Structures are given as structure tokens and as C-alpha cells.
Structure 1
Amino acid sequence: MISISEINGISKQGVRENNEDYIKFYVDNNQANLSRVIVLCDGMGGHAHGEIASKIVAESVFATLDSNRADFTEDDLQLALDNALIALNKANVYDDCKKMGTTLVVAVINKNNVLVGHVGDSRCYLFDDDGIKLFRTKDHSKVAEAVEAEILTEEEAINSEYKNILTRCVIADKTDVKIEIDRLDIKDKDRLLLCSDGVIDAIRDEELSEILVNRNINDALALIDSKCQMKSHDNYSVIIADLKNDVYDEPSDFASSDETAIHAKENEVSSELCEEDYKLKINELYKELNYLNETHKRTIRNHSISWCLVGVIFAFLCCGTFSYFILDHVYKVSECERKAFYNYEYCTSKMVNKMCKQKNKNDSVILKRELNAHYKFIQKQYHKERGKLHTKGNERK
């Protein structure tokens, strides 16, 4: 359960003619019941009666929220702002060219978290026990938008002449102002810090972190006050709240000491049993993991052997198919050449037989003519067969 263990704040006029800042939190005389609501407002100096606007809005927001006895919601914060706008509009009786306006930052403490709502450039920070910044609200200003767009650096934004131009504020004659809300998770010994822009004018985020380390709230406030007196050009206000988070429920006030001891013993036994169960489950999971690992290895090995066999068979089929087509081509070429040779041998044999049978010179002359004709025919046939052979070879290629 989250609660405030200690809280304090300051609000100073600074170099201005009057103090337009206003802070509101509650602590009873015995420090027994610290407020769950923290409010800080910074009246707008360029508008009329900023000191009146900041007080009206802060008091109205605090009154709306402080009456809540349950956990706060985002709707509760928006309702508090809406009520503050109504109160501000009723008080806006001054005949000035500019309406009353103010910034607002409010933090509310729930059992399990903290809600932070803000309008304008007053800020809320969350630091851990070592002074490390965990959270910071985002200013509603032109220079903040320029920083987010990487047009300006943080330092350039602080020194810019346009740093006071706000994109959102609590101002009279408006009823539709939207409060921006952040939900924070809290650890034990975290610190909330709410401040107006007068503090930011004098102290950077890194310096705030250093100030909070190893200092109690009053010492930290005194150091912030000292730095702002020297450097700030505006009113400056700051609230610091130390938070605690009880992660274990305390025993009931109605429980006897015996009952408490019994519950403690039961919890101890239960813890031992849980530890034994935990060890058994770890061992079972370890065995199951080893089994799955071995199964996975066997599966990979079997798959590897199968793919090797598939590769060998595929290679054998490819080589066999390739060899078949090559040998078939060679065989067909040899067969064609053999037929052409037999045809040539047959025709030659016929011519020789005719020469042996010639009887006179006339026969010899006729035979020579026939031989010459047969020779040309044989030559033609041979080249014809060879031509067919080469044509088929090219077609196969």
C-alpha cells in the first residue's frame, strides 16, 4: 500500500512584485494523517490577476479531490479541473483585456499507484532513493514541442524568448480544458517533486537529482531555495513528498498474538512445502528437457541419413539417364555408318563380278561406263547416308 511518509514545500516571491504561485497539501498537527492530494499552481504573469487564478484553481481542485475516500480515477482528476474552471469563471469579474489564467499540476496517492495530472508547464518529477529520475511531465508549451521535434535542445528551450508561450492552460471563459494524466508505479522510498517553472529557470534536472541524494526534505528544500534566490527570474515553488510502499499486508488489529504466531508457523511450513514442490518440478522439467533434446538429436540424425540416401539415388538416376542417351546416340551413329559401308561393299562386289565376265573390248568399254555410273551412284548414296547421319546428330544436340 502506497502512502506519504513525509511532505513539505515552499513558495517564494523571488524577483517579482508579487507571488503568483500557490501550493496546497495537508498535514495534521501530529503528522499522523498526511494528505493524499498535492496541488501546485503558477498564475500566468502575462494575464490579469494570476495570483487570484492560481489560488482559486488550487483550492478548488484540492477540495474536490480531498473529499474522495476511495482510489482516485482519471475521471476524478478531470472533474476536479472542471469544477476549478467553474469557480474561476465565477471569480472573473475584472474588466481586463486578458482573462485570469494559471498552470496546474496535481498528484493523488492511490493504494497501488500515483496519478499525476497537469496543464501547462509546471512539472512533476519522480525520483528513486538514489536520486535517479524515473519520470517527468511533458510541458504544454511551444518550446517543449520544438524539443520533442528535435528543433531545440533542452538548454536552448530554457533560454528561449518563447519559453512562456503555453499551448494549454487553465484560463477563465473556457470550460473544455483537458488535463493530461500519467499513472506512476511506486517503489518504497521514491520521491515526488512538484515545482513551478521558476525552479526550472534556476535548476536543471541533473542538479535536482544531486540535491535529493542523501538529503532529507527540509535540507533539499533549503538548497533549492538558495539556488533559486541567486538564479531564478520568476516566482518559485516546490513540494517534495517521500513515499513508502508496504508490499506486505500488516496483521489485523483484531488478531491475537497466538493467532499471529499460528499464521506465521503455517506460512513457514507452507514455504518449505512450496520449496520442495519447486525442486521436484525443476527436476521433472530438467528430465523432460533432456528427453526432448535427445529426441531432437535422433530426429535430425535420421533426417540426415534419409536425405543422403535420396541424394545418392537421385545422382545415380541422373548419371544413368545421361549415359543412356549418350550410348544410344553413339550406337545409332555406328549403325548408320555400318549400313552405308555394307551398301558400298555390295555395289563394288557387283562391279567386280561384271569385270570378270567381260568377253570382248566392246564389253569392256560398256563395262567401264557402267562402272563409272555405278561408282558415282555409290558415292552419291554414301554421301547421302552420311548427310542423314549428321542431320540427326545436330537435331539431337
Structure 2
Amino acid sequence: MATDRPVWTATHVGRVRRANEDLYLVGKQMAAEPVESWSGRMTVDHGWAVIADGMGGHEDGQIASRIVIETIAESIESVRDEANVTSMIENAHRKLYEAMFSGQGRPGMGSTIVGVVFFDQEALVFNVGDSRAYELRRGQLLQLSRDDTLGADRGRKGGHALTQSLGGTATPQPVTPHIRRFRLEDHIGVLLCSDGLTDMVQENRIAALLAGPTINPAEHLATAANDAGGNDNITVVIIGPKATVGPTVRRTRSTP
């Protein structure tokens, strides 16, 4: 039987960058503003959420993340297993290079990606790069994604180098997505985020913030990252545990 869960999103340009190169997709809902939050409900009988964190600087990073999200949006509804996820990500990777070679954006532009697809009682989490997915279980965080970084220090404020991404090089390189299937129990939630959150806020602090009362926990985390310096764009998507009462749809926009 189809069920749904509360979902909260937030994206913010941060305090340093000129533009927001992050982009999220939740079902058919896509971020539309550089500073935005949204809440509603989503089905877990084949629902999905994805974050792309563009690289390449301003326009090129924005182009890269949009190509990735729009390509994913075209096929994610058909995803049923790990092979489908791999094909979908490889297609987005290929589309980035096609855009580079056609003059849309500069060579070397790229994007990380993290996402989850729900199948009622199971879910597939996938990522390439350093955007992360966590399982939320009774106040505890368990990282489901795998960081593609050199010298990564969990919770470190920047300074890590990517070992793979979608695009990101002048010539095509193979990409190997990390994919994990897990059981989606009623009390389990999922957190997706770009590294603009995890580079600024330690995991124990994230868990503590999520344990407190707030209207939009995703917006609460984005605010914490900005309060810590906001060195990068910040995007957060939280799919909460199954509940009989959840938020009504609310979308707010503002200028940076």
C-alpha cells in the first residue's frame, strides 16, 4: 500500500559564493531560487530526492548541476534496481561532456550527486563525489553514502579534493557510483546534503539540531552552516519517518 512521509528542503547561496551552484529535485519539485525552503509530503512507493552540487565556478557550476538534475529527472521514475541507477548516472555524466564539447559551459565543469529512490519498504541511496546521504534513526546519524575524496577529514571545514565526479575533467573519465540498498523502516528518515553543510557543521551537531523543535529542520541546518561561516552553497533535503501528521506544503523564497 502506498504511503507518504514528510519532507523538508532548503538551499542557500551561503555567505561567500556569488551564486548557488547546488540544485535539488524532490519528486517533480525542483529548486527555483538561490535561497529557498520548501516543505510537503512525498510518496515512498517509488518517490525520490536528489541533490547536485555543481563545480566550475558561477555559471559553469550552475549549468553542470542543472544538466545533471534535468537528466536524472528524465529517467529516475524508471529506476527499479542498482543497474538502473548506474545507467542513469552514466547518462548524466555523458550529457555533461556533450555539453562541454558543444560549447555549453567550459571544459572541466562538473557536479557531485547524491540521491535516494524509495520502494515502500526499501530504498536505494547513490552518490558520486562528496555530497552525502545519512540514515536518521532515533536521533542518530549513519552515513549511507561514500565520500570520493583525498585526505577527507569528516567535519573539516573544506580542504578536501574529489577523486571522482560527474564531468569535472577536460576529457571523459569513467565514473563508478556508490549504491546502497537498505530497509526503510517506519521510524527511519533520510538526510541528503551538499558539502556546504558537512564542511561547516559536525555530525554530532547536526544530530543535536535535528533533535530540537523546528518548523523546517532542513532550513534549521542551513542556518547553522551559515552561522558557522557559510563558506559554500548549502542544500539539505530531509525525508522524515512515517507519521500520521506531517507538514502542509510551504515554499518560501528570498534574495541572498
Q: How does 1:194-343 map to 2 (within 5 A)?
A: 194-215=192-213, 218-231=215-228, 232-244=230-242
Q: Any conservation in 2 of the 1:4–1:241 contact (CA below 8 Å)?
A: no
**1:131 Cα offset (Å):** 1.1
More helix by share: 1
Decide whether aligned partners of structure 1 residues 3 and 62 sit closer, same or farther in structure 2, where only a CA change above 3 A counts: farther
More strand by share: 2
Decide whether aligned partners of structure 1 residues 141 and 220 sit closer, same or farther in structure 2, where only a CA change above 3 A counts: same
**Which of 136, 140, 145 lines up with 2:148 in the alignment?**
140
**RMSD of equivalent CA atoms:** 2.9
Q: Which structure 2 residue ranges, 5 or more long, are not aligned?
A: 30-38, 244-256
- What per-residue deviation string (whole Å, max 9, x for no partner) do you get for residues 163-200 of structure 1? 1x101110064263111111122221311110001111
Q: Within 2, Cα distance between the matches of 1:18 and 1:195?
A: 17
**1:97 Cα offset (Å):** 6.7
TM-score norm. by structure 2 comes to 0.78
Find the structure with the greater CA-based Rg.
1
SS of the residue aligned with 1:57? Answer: helix
- What per-residue deviation string (whole Å, max 9, x for no partner) do you get for residues 223-273 of structure 1? 21221222220011000011439xxxxxxxxxxxxxxxxxxxxxxxxxxxx
1:110 aligns with 2:106: no
TM-score norm. by structure 1 comes to 0.52
Q: Which structure 1 residue ranges, 5 or more long, are not aligned?
A: 145-152, 246-397
Identity across the alignment (%): 28
Aligned residues: 229
Q: Any conservation in 1 of the 2:144–2:180 contact (CA below 8 Å)?
A: no
Q: Within 2, Cα distance between the matches of 1:135 and 1:32?
A: 22
SS of the residue aligned with 1:49? Answer: helix
**1:4 Cα offset (Å):** 3.8
Q: Which residue of 1 aligns with 2:179?
A: 181
Q: Which residue of 1 aligns with 2:190?
A: 192
Q: Any conservation in 2 of the 1:2–1:111 contact (CA below 8 Å)?
A: yes
Q: Any conservation in 2 of the 1:127–1:135 contact (CA below 8 Å)?
A: no
Q: Which residue of 1 aligns with 2:68?
A: 57
**Which of 55, 61, 66 lines up with 1:44 in the alignment?**
55
Q: Any conservation in 2 of the 1:131–1:209 contact (CA below 8 Å)?
A: yes
Identify the range of structure 1 (25-34 vs 43-52) with the bigger mean alpha-carbon deviation: 25-34
Q: Within 1, Cα distance between the matches of 2:49 and 2:104?
A: 32
